[in-house]
Structure 1
């Protein structure tokens, strides 16, 4: 079984409802995922986005760059007694989404990987391992670009973000 980074853009009202009813949130997520799986939307047009298995690589790279928002795990817990795969879900309020979008836009993937030796990821036991080749750093580029587009759209429409590992 793989660990996958997951995101759902939600309105302020949907965020309030998710906080009050985590079961509703999980059902809502499944509805959105099912609907979007049929259409394969671009990250900028989607409500659901996944960083696939690159979540830990991106976490490592963003932490190294002192990124101002925890876009990988979210910042505020809700449903702490729930386990949505690998722990409880968290969220980002719209103002944190906006800050994250600005920082993602200002930080290119080339900047993130500049000076990184893949052996550093191996030493840090970054999931999913297998960082022996210099080219392995390129694996995260399309996911980072998609995450940037996804956050930019969320910020533009003032959405919050549900974040979890599945």
Structure 2
């Protein structure tokens, strides 16, 4: 399972809510275009946390993030074509709040007081938390997710969120 995100304008979000099939087509179109060039997170329209989503979910819940960045908040379609669970979205104001929380919460703060055994006990994937340096594995994903959300917030974009 991998965490997926797509930035959409407010007008596109309205269409997504009305026509989830159109949204799936848009996702496929953007992902196909991304295969030709890999933009930096701040310029990207699509972003993935790959398998780091579960670790980030655990840490953000522990830190009481004000926005569900990993699963999104409001469902807009059935999950059959989207992967695991229904896809959800974040409205622009929630994207701005998420960006602020990401920007003001460092990766070190997320891990403050966390013992790798805690992640293992909670069965947080990828289940290699006892290895040296394992807690640093998610840092680039978190930093890139922060850049992606900050760019979306600056553009006043909404966000589609799903696990594939």
TM-score normalised by L of structure 2? 0.97
Q: Whose helix fraction is larger, Structure 1's or Structure 2's?
A: 1
Deviation at 1:83, TM superposition (A): 4.2
Between Structure 1 and Structure 2, how many residues are aligned?
A: 164
Q: Is the 8 A contact 2:96 2:150 kept in 1?
A: yes
Q: Give SS of 1:51's match.
A: strand
Where does residue 28 of structure 1 map in the other structure? 26
Q: Which residue of 2 aligns with 1:13?
A: 11
CA distance in 1, matches of 2:79, 2:61: 27
Change (3 A) 1:42 1:76: same
Alignment partner, residue 93 of structure 1: 91
Which runs of no fewer than 5 residues in structure 1 stay unpaired? none
Give the drift of 1:128. Answer: 2.3
Q: CA deviation at 1:125?
A: 0.7
Root-mean-square deviation (CA, aligned residues, Å) is: 1.0
Give the Å deviation of 1:31.
0.6
Aligned CA distance change for structure 1 residues 107 and 81 (closer, same or farther; 3 Å): closer
Is 2:33 the counterpart of 1:72? no
Q: Which runs of 4+ in 1 moved over 6 A?
A: none
1:136 aligns with 2:134: yes
Deviations 1:89-144 (A, max 9, x none): 00000000000000100000011112211110010011222211241111100000
CA distances 1:9-44 after superposition (whole Å, capped 9, x unpaired): 000111111111111101100110111121110000
- List gaps (5 residues or longer) in structure 2: none
